Amino acid sequence: KIIETDIPCANGIIHVIDSVILPSESSLLELIENQKRFSTLARLLKETGLDLPLASSRNTFTIFAPVNEAWEEEPYKSLIKKLDDSGSETLYGVLARHVIVGKHVSENPKPYNKLRTIHGAPIYLTQGEAKSKISGIRILESDTEAFNGLVNAIGSVIKDPMELPEKDITTVDAILFVQKSLQESSELYDKGEYEASWRNYISRGNEFLTKYSQFISSGQSNKLRNVIFDDQPVAQLAAEAWTSRNVFRDLLRELEQREDRIVDSYLMQLPQKARFGR
């Protein structure tokens, strides 16, 4: 029980509580097995061999745990039925999308966070309107602590992200991303939803830096970082959104100029090709 809250001091805030907070004595696997809503997940972890790492004290993990109802959706329901007919390998891949090495706190994260699962695929932890989501799925209960990690309850199974390998991403992908960002936020701005417009720029800006920062100059990257910094302005949300818009427009202009240089260089090597408009 918290007896007294928000006592200010020189380097932080103090809350007074009535007892000592003891470390958890349960493993991730025990936390999952002890809750009926995770009974399907517990069985699948055992069938695929993932139960042993989650019971061990040698490593720490963060697991996004789908509740039983999530496994009733297709194609997962059919996969579970085929478990005895060599379906365990496919299910292992599905389950691995929900396990991250290390402890990653999900409550009040940055607007956009790229995490790597145990088999290397990216999933994305986002925050918007005081709600945390993992790859677009609402986190129902976050950061239940075990001695070897954290459990987050989610209502759906995380889908395969199906992203291009990082080496295959191009400037065109970055241009399309910025164009979509501008369109989404501009539509919100035109409706008078200034805070939603501004917050969309924040979220998309963080995502851009995670995926496409290699295509822009350090100066442009710093401008974007400054404009997406969430300092919770009490007012002037319209101005914040408009400033963000201008930075995104500059970002698009730099990317388009970069792409034009690439095309020009290619055409210079093919003089027989018509260079209409150039």
* Nearest residue to 41 via CA among 154, 159, 122, 120: 154
**Does residue 99 contact residue 117 with C-beta atoms inside 8 Å?**
yes
Domains of the chain: 25-154 (2.30.180.10), 166-268 (1.20.120)
Residue 17 has pLDDT above 50, yes or no: yes
- Encode pLDDT of 102-141 as tens digits: 988 887 667 778 888 888 888 888 877 678 889 889 999 9
pLDDT at 79: 84
Candidate ranges 31-35, 85-89, 126-130, 251-255; pick with highest mean pLDDT: 31-35
Residue 182 is predicted with a pLDDT of 93
pLDDT of residue 275 exceeding 50: no
More confident residue, 190 or 267: 190
- pLDDT value, residue 154: 95
Tell me the average pLDDT across 26-49: 93
Query: Residue 153 — very low, low, confident or very high, per pLDDT cuts 50/70/90?
Result: very high
CA 155 to chain CA centroid, nearest Å: 16
In whole numbers, what is the pLDDT of the chain averaged over residues? 83
What pLDDT score was predicted for residue 232?
A: 55
Confidence band, pLDDT 50/70/90 cuts, at residue 164: low
Mean pLDDT within 85-99? 82
Using pLDDT thresholds of 50, 70 and 90, give the confidence band for residue 263: low
Cα separations in angstroms, 186 against 28, 100, 151, 223: 44, 35, 37, 19
Q: Which of 133-137, 165-169, 230-234 has the highest mean pLDDT?
A: 133-137
What's the pLDDT at 264?
Answer: 58
Q: What is the mean pLDDT of residues 254-262?
A: 79
Mean pLDDT, to the nearest integer, of 23-52? 91
247: pLDDT strictly greater than 60: yes
Instruction: Specify the higher pLDDT residue, 79 or 165.
Output: 79
Split at pLDDT 50, 70, 90, the class of 226 is confident
Q: Of the spans 73-87, 116-130, 147-161, which averages the highest pLDDT?
A: 147-161
